[in-house]
Each structure stands twice: as structure tokens, then as C-alpha cells.
Amino acid sequence: MIRGVLLDPQNPGGEHHIAVSSMAIPIIVATIRIPRLKVSDRLPLLADSGADITSLHLRDAIRVLGMRKYLQLRGETTVGGVGGDAKYFLEPTRIIFVHEDGNIEGYNFELRIAKIPPGSPSKLKHALQLPSVLGRDILHHFRIVIDYSREEFYLDHS
């Protein structure tokens, strides 16, 4: 079992972070390894069963990669979503999860890394607020359990 948390979007810095309402956001922590760039980092990902792909959004991309490595990204693609089309870079990546019992599980995939959006400062500000997403390309390996009555969220194979 890979345990996540349900975060309260209205109180992300609260003492317990756990929300009891249906507004809770399911977050899982994973390690992302991008071999070409020699980068590895743990980061929180929004588990989004409505997202086709796993993506590293701008705030996390700059934090994890730094600007020097970010500028080395290539392999652009366009992804359509609820908010319209967005441009991403593609990077072969390994995602690694640690189970509660200490076992490690990983998957190789093509990570989408958000490009800096062209246009106004408000577009950039919005892009910097988006959380990175764990999409169905990885989630399909698991059973997803979100139990608001018990305030728990986890992934497993049962």
C-alpha cells in the first residue's frame, strides 16, 4: 500500500492538513528520476484520474530541474485539457513509490514537463500555481482508494 493524504485546499498549511470534506485533494509523494538530466527528487503529486498523463507543472519543474537544466529540455508536444491546449516537453522518466512496508515499486514512462507559457504575466502566474499531476498513465497500475469517512487515501494492488 502506498499511502497518500487528503489535503484541505482552503487550509494547506493547517496543523493536520487532512480535510474531511469532499473538497479534499488526494496527494501522493513519489520520486521522479530523469536520467538524461541526472535529476532525482521527491515531490507531491495530485492523483487525478481525469488526467490522461502524468505531468510536472512549471513550479515543480523549475524547483526540481533548476533553470539551467530546464532550458535543456526538448521534444515538445501539445496536450489538450479542460483549460485548453498546453505545451509540454517530453522526457523519459522513472517514477518510484515506497510502500508502507518499505517495498519499492517503479515505472518507466514519458513525463510531460510544462513549458513556460507565452503571453501575459497573468498566464505565467496561473501556470506557477498548478500542481504536478499523477495521471492515468501511472494510476492504472493501482486500485485507488479515497475514503472521506476515514480521512484516508492510498494506492494498492488488491
Tell me the C-alpha distance between 32 and 144, whole Å: 20
Nearest to 78 by CA among 115, 34, 45, 46: 115
Label residue 135 by pLDDT band (50, 70, 90). Answer: very high
Q: What is the dihedral of CA 57, 96, 93, 126, to 10 degrees?
A: 0
Query: What residues have CB less than 8 Å from 148, skipping those under 6 apart?
Result: 6, 20, 21, 22, 24
Weakest mean pLDDT among 52-56, 71-75, 139-143? 71-75
Average pLDDT over residues 136-149: 94
Position 19 scores a pLDDT of 46
Average pLDDT over residues 129-141: 95
Position 123 scores a pLDDT of 82
Q: Which cell numbers in the block locate residue 143?
A: 486500485
Label residue 20 by pLDDT band (50, 70, 90). Answer: low
Domain regions of the chain by residue span:
2-156
Residue 76, pLDDT > 80, answer yes
Tell me the C-alpha distance between 70 and 53, whole Å: 20
Position 84 scores a pLDDT of 77
Label residue 114 by pLDDT band (50, 70, 90). Answer: very high
- Concatenated DSSP letters of 45-114: EEE-TT-SS-EE-HHHHHHHHHHHHHTT---EEEEEETTEEEEEEEEEEEEEEE-TTS-EEEEEEEEEEE
User: How far is residue 86 from each of residues 44, 57, 81, measured CA to CA in Å?
Assistant: 21, 11, 8
Tell me the C-alpha distance between 26 and 8, whole Å: 9
Tell me the C-alpha distance between 10 and 6, whole Å: 12
Report the Cα 145 to chain-centroid distance in Å: 17
Average pLDDT over residues 88-98: 97
Label residue 118 by pLDDT band (50, 70, 90). Answer: confident
Residue 151, pLDDT > 70, answer yes
State which CATH number among 3.40.50.2300, 3.40.1360.10, 1.20.120.1730, 2.40.70.10 fits the domain covering 2-156. Answer: 2.40.70.10
